Amino acid sequence: MANDNEMKEQLIKRALLARRWSYSPYSHYAVGAALLTRSGKIYDGVNIENAAYPSGICAERVAVFKAVSEGERDFEIIAVVTENGGSPCGGCRQVLAEFGLETLVILADATGKLTAEFQLREILPDAFTPDKLTG
C-alpha cells in the first residue's frame, strides 16, 4: 500500500496543503514536504526562512526533524512540492540518508503533478552514512 499510486497522491496532496504555510519572504520559493513513516504516519514540513539568511531551513528537514523528534526514524517516502518540481538540496539528501538510502523521493509541481521519483541512493551516490563512523 505504502508504495502505490494512491499513497503517492495522498503524500503529494499533503505536501501541497502544507506548502501554503511556507515562510519564504526572501526567495519567494515555497516548498512543502510530506514524509511517510513505516509506521504509517505522515509528517509535513515547509521551508522557513529568516532575515539572517543561513538561519532558514528547508521543508524536507522540517518534516524529518518533526518525525525524529517524535520517535520516528524509519521512512518510506518523502514527497516534495515546489513551483516547478525542484529536487531536494544536498543538505536535505544528507539528512535523509542518515535514516536510510531506500527512502523514495517523489517530486511534484504546484499543480500536484508528479514530475520525478528516485530512490535516495540514486541521488546521493557514495553517501556518507552512520556506518562510516563505526566500520
Residues 109, 74: Cα–Cα separation, whole Å: 26
CB 22 within 8 A of CB 118: no
User: Could you say which of 6, 9, 49, 60 is catalytic?
Assistant: 60
Least separation in angstroms between CB 93 and ligand THU: 8
Closer to ligand THU at the Cβ: 7 or 81?
A: 81
Least separation in angstroms between CB 135 and ligand THU: 29
Residues 34, 78: Cα–Cα separation, whole Å: 6
Closer to ligand THU at the Cβ: 27 or 119?
A: 27
Least separation in angstroms between CB 86 and ligand THU: 6
- Does 60 participate in catalysis according to the annotation? yes
Residue type, position 97, single letter? A
DSSP 57: B
Active site residues: 60
